Amino acid sequence: MTAPAPWPPPGLSAPARRALAGAGMDTPRQLAAHTEKEILALHGLGPKALGPLRAALTAAGLGFAQERK
């Protein structure tokens, strides 16, 4: 059995970590319930944070939710 990926993922700035915690996203599964657009709308999370977040979701076998059309 592999160890779970660290949360929040390494490489995130302190404001990004605070934004996730403030939004109640304490696990990759909680993050995966949101679209990239929703995540980028959080104060403290910018495009640079998407790389580590995508990597954490991929490691957990997840991905961002899809935009609804």
pLDDT digits (tens, 9 = 90+) for 17-57: 999 999 999 999 999 999 999 999 999 999 999 999 999 99
pTM: 0.88
Query: With contact defined as beta carbons under 8 Å apart, do 55 and 9 qualify?
Result: yes
Region for 25 from its dihedrals, namely left if φ exceeds 0, alpha if ψ lies in -120 to 50, beta otherwise: beta
CB atoms within 10 A of CB 67: 9
- Cβ–Cβ < 8 Å for 65, 54: no
Write down the pLDDT at residue 2: 59
